Amino acid sequence: MLNELIEKRKKILAESEQHKERRNELNALASKFARERNALNTKTREFVDEAQKNKDLRDESNRSVQSLKEERNALNEQANVLFEEIEDFKKEHGNLKNRGIKELQKQIEHLEFRQQTEVISTDKERELIDKIKQMKSEVRDQESELEQNKDMRTKLNDAREFRKGASDIHARVTELAELAQKYHDQMVENYRNADKSRESADEAHKSFVEAQESADAEHKFFLACQKELRDYDKVIGGLRKKTRKTKVTKEQKAVRKEAERIFTSFRGGEKLTTDDLLLLQRSKLV
């Protein structure tokens, strides 16, 4: 029975070591997933921070755009008022068939914008440039005529300054609007990267939880095996103690029996050897 228990204990010990090894492997795997999750969460926060920074820059640019638009519109309005006064003067003193300077300026701005933004053929672009030159020449002719009048010359110069200021501001508006769009695109890209990173972090966390739960299960199996081993040790230890006690008792009986034989022989007149005497003393017969 003792040998059978020892064999069973060996199997439980081997099983315990397997659970321990598997638990350690799963804990290492869980730690790996935890590191990946933490790194991805850090990356997510970096993407979100970068997105927020670009959002703030975009909003700041848009506020500047709005402020400059108001300034530009105010200058255009001032120029329009002067051009209206100039047009009224022309109607009274000039050729009514001539297109107004204000209208020509608007058309020139529209054509210049087309030239800068539209993809057109070389011939079409040349045609557009010629048309712009023709209109500008017409504006200069009308302005030259108007400049003969001192009051109109002053208003025309002021109107030009207002229009130039508005044009300069519009260039800045365009630049800031493009910058705002750039910041917006970067914000969107960072938020998109943050979403991807967050999804990967969630997957890593899911894998971490699964590995940790499996490791905990293996640890429970390991503890159960350890308890079973302790139970086996108690039983085996008890049996071994009992076996040793039985063996000692048998040896004591054998010694006692031999001592009694020697003692009987001694009483019959036989001589005792030193070993015989020691044996009798150990058996407390002398």
Examine the pLDDT at 95 and tell me if it is beyond 60: no
* pLDDT, tens digit (0-9, with 9 covering 90-100), for 208-232: 999 999 999 999 999 999 999 998 8
| Mean pLDDT, rounded, for 179-194 | 96
Mean pLDDT, all residues of the chain:
85
**Least confident among 60-69, 171-180, 255-264:** 255-264
Query: Could you tell me the two tokens for 267?
Result: 């009483």
pLDDT reported for residue 232: 84
- Residue bearing the bigger pLDDT, 250 or 223: 223
pLDDT band (50, 70, 90) for residue 96: very low
pLDDT band (50, 70, 90) for residue 97: very low
23, with CB counted inside 10 A (0-12, 13-18, 19+), is: buried
* pLDDT, tens digit (0-9, with 9 covering 90-100), for 130-171: 888 888 888 777 777 666 677 878 888 898 899 899 989 988
pLDDT reported for residue 85: 86
Q: What span, in angstroms and rounded, lies between the C-alpha atoms of 286 and 281? A: 5
Q: For a pLDDT cut of 90, what percent of the chain falls above it?
A: 47
| Mean pLDDT, rounded, for 124-135 | 85
pLDDT reported for residue 262: 72
Check if the beta carbon of residue 51 is closer than 8 Å to that of residue 194: yes
